[in-house]
């Protein structure tokens, strides 16, 4: 282990060897791991150590590039560029200085490495680009942007890994309507944040979140909007969850529909859409297998469940339940009759948890209920790999895995995995 000593105050030269999870890159200084932002593997950079509070690693910011990678390009967002002092760089586009194809390669490496290290699964997955993102250099895809307000009322994104507001002149990752409506340059004294939402129905909503009003009160205000996927409308609240990339909802709908193993699908089983939001992925199942499909969408946000009930009204066998997934499954385990248990064993379960993943308790409940197949939609590859490892003792293995570049110019990547039970465990 590296000796514990304080970081040098002067800039240090480092060789970047690898990409790490979380949008940073790996170097070593006198044997200690240093996580460095705004660089590319293969580069030699001059950095400033910004955090030496951990014994096993430090954090650093790139000050200048001494030997650039062939994959480096001018940042798509000047406000986030290395030309600016590190504390003035806008956050939210931490891969924007890297050629898009190489961003996808780095995301593939993070995913493959997490699967190998955490789940013992080797994968040849590739990260698929969406629509015309390549031609647009990964800009213009955000249908939603949250901007923050500083103490003196200035509006902007946070700087990377900080709550410092950075006023900016443009939002290149935002779609045209969102970028035009964003009230950049205006002051919002007394506000906490501003959401700019541009749904597929063509409307644009600028929602000012008052710092004095608690989030719970804001949650009472409804601002209904409509998103459309393949001609089907989904009602939701403007502040509620919806996939961010303009093509994400249709991409995930297709991916879930094609991931499901038809030979394991039973329309009459107790199929589940866990972390269901307003019912997008339950609808994907309904559209593929018909309106007789029985399924329950489980979601903790009551407003979203109300909308899901409405959005899933076409499917006679569909219902939406407001509950925390861990509690819902524990309750199922306690109360299920023998017939319910058989219908759960025959079920197809979609899971689309938040970034932290499903976690131990949810995986354990599902493992004991033993559904026929699980389609796991993940926005964090490391949480997915951890959960794949947790499913293994219950006999589940990865039958297919795809990954999508749903967040170009950021480090985020979305994955869709099909988990099925080994024949011996069925």
Among positions 35, 95, 265, 275, the unique one binding ligand SAM when judged by CB under 6 A:
275
Q: What tokens appear for 107 in the block? A: 């995301």
Residue 280 found at the interface with ligand SAM (CB under 6 A)? yes
Q: Which of 379, 398, 401, 406 is catalytic?
A: 379
- 52, 150, 241, 330: residue in contact with ligand SAM (rule CB under 6 A): 241
Select from 61, 113, 154, 352 the one that contacts ligand SAM (CB under 6 A).
352
Q: Is 376 annotated as a binding residue?
A: no
Residue 362 Cβ, how far from ligand SAM at the closest point, in Å? 8
Closer of 52 and 301 to ligand SAM (Cβ): 301
Q: Is 186 annotated as a binding residue?
A: no
Residue with smaller CB distance to ligand SAM, 241 or 394: 241
Angle at Cα 228 formed by Cα 225 and Cα 229, nearest 5°? 150
Would you give the DSSP letter of residue 260? S
CA atoms within 13 A on the CB side of 112: 13
Q: Which is nearer to ligand SAM, 26 or 219 (CB)?
A: 219
Give a three-class secondary structure readout of 207-225.
EEEECCCCHHHHCCCCCEE
Among 185, 354, 422, 426, binds ligand SAM (CB under 6 A): 354
Kindly indicate which of the ranges 33-41, 61-69, 275-283, 330-338 contains the residues binding ligand SAM, using the contact rule CB under 6 A: 275-283
Residue in the structure block whose two tokens are 């499909």: 293
Under the binding rule (CB under 6 A), the answer on residue 287 touching ligand SAM is no
Choose between 294 and 303: whose C-beta lies nearer to ligand SAM. 303
**Distance (Å) of CA 225 to CA 202, 245, 252:** 10, 16, 20
Q: Which stretch binds ligand SAM (CB under 6 A): 93-101, 146-154, 263-271, 295-303?
A: 295-303
Report which residue's Cβ sits closest to ligand SAM: 277
* Residue pair 73/98 in contact by the 8 Å Cβ criterion: yes
Q: What DSSP string runs through 16-48?
A: EEEE-TTS-EEEEETTEEEEEES--TT-EEEEE
Query: For ligand SAM, which residue of 18, 150, 203, 300 counts as binding (CB under 6 A)?
Result: 300
Residue 406's alpha-carbon distances to 48, 277, 355, 403, 413, in angstroms, are: 31, 18, 14, 9, 6
38 Cβ contact list (under 8 Å, min separation 6): 61, 62, 82, 86, 89, 94, 97
Only one of the segments 43-51, 65-73, 84-92, 235-243 lies at the binding site for ligand SAM (rule: CB under 6 A); that segment is: 235-243
Q: Is 299 annotated as a binding residue?
A: yes
Tell me if residue 379 is catalytic.
yes
- Could you count the other beta carbons within 10 Å of the beta carbon of residue 176? 10
Residue in 325, 398, 401, 415 binding ligand SAM, rule: CB under 6 A: 325
Instruction: State the alpha helices, DSSP H only, in 381-426.
Output: 381-391
Considering only 103, 243, 251, 365, the residue that binds ligand SAM (CB under 6 A) is 243
Give 19's strand partners.
Answer: 25
Give the catalytic positions in this structure. Answer: 379
Q: Which residues of the shown chain bind ligand SAM in the complex (CB under 6 A)?
A: 241-243, 275-277, 280-281, 298-301, 304, 324-325, 352, 354
Annotated binding residues for S-adenosyl-L-methionine = 243, 275, 299, 352
């Amino acid at each position: 282990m590296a000796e514990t000593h304080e970081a040098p105050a002067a800039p240090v030269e480092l060789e970047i060897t690898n990409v790490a999870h979380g949008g940073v890159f790996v170097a070593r200084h006198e044997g200690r791991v240093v996580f460095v932002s705004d660089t590319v593997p293969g580069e030699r950079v001059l950095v400033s150590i910004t955090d030496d509070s951990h014994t096993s690693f430090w954090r650093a910011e790139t000050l200048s590039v001494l030997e650039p990678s062939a994959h480096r390009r001018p940042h798509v967002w000047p406000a986030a560029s290395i030309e600016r002092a590190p504390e003035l760089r806008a956050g939210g586009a931490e891969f924007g200085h890297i050629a898009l194809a190489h961003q996808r390669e780095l995301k593939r490496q993070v995913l493959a490495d997490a699967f190998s290290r955490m789940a013992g699964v080797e994968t040849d997955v590739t990260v698929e680009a969406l629509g015309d993102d390549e031609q647009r250099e990964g800009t213009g895809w955000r249908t939603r942007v949250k901007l923050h307000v500083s103490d003196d009322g200035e509006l902007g994104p946070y700087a990377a890994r900080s709550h410092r507001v950075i006023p900016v002149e443009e939002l290149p990752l935002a779609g045209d309507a969102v970028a035009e409506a964003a009230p950049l340059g205006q002051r919002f004294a007394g506000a906490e944040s501003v959401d700019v939402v541009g749904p597929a129905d063509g409307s644009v909503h600028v929602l000012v979140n008052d710092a004095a009003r608690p989030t719970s009160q804001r949650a009472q205000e409804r601002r209904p909007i409509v998103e459309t996927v393949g001609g089907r409308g989904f009602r939701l609240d403007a502040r509620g969850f919806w996939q961010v990339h303009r093509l994400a909802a249709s991409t995930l709908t297709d991916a879930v529909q094609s991931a499901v193993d038809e030979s394991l699908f039973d329309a009459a089983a107790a199929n589940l859409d866990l972390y269901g939001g307003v019912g997008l992925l339950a609808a994907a199942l309904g559209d593929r297998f018909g309106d007789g499909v029985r399924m329950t969408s489980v979601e903790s946000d009551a407003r979203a469940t109300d909308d899901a009930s409405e959005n899933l009204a076409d499917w006679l066998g569909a219902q939406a339940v407001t509950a925390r997934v861990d509690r819902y499954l524990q309750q199922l385990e306690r109360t299920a009759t023998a017939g319910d248990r058989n219908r759960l064993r025959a079920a197809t379960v979609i899971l689309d948890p938040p970034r932290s993943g499903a976690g131990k308790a949810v995986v354990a409940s599902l493992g004991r209920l033993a559904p026929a197949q699980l389609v796991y939609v993940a926005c964090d590859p490391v949480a997915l790999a951890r959960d794949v490892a947790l499913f293994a003792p219950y006999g589940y293995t990865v039958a297919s895995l795809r990954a999508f570049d749903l967040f170009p110019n950021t480090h985020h990547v979305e994955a869709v995995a099909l988990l099925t039970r080994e024949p011996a465990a069925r």
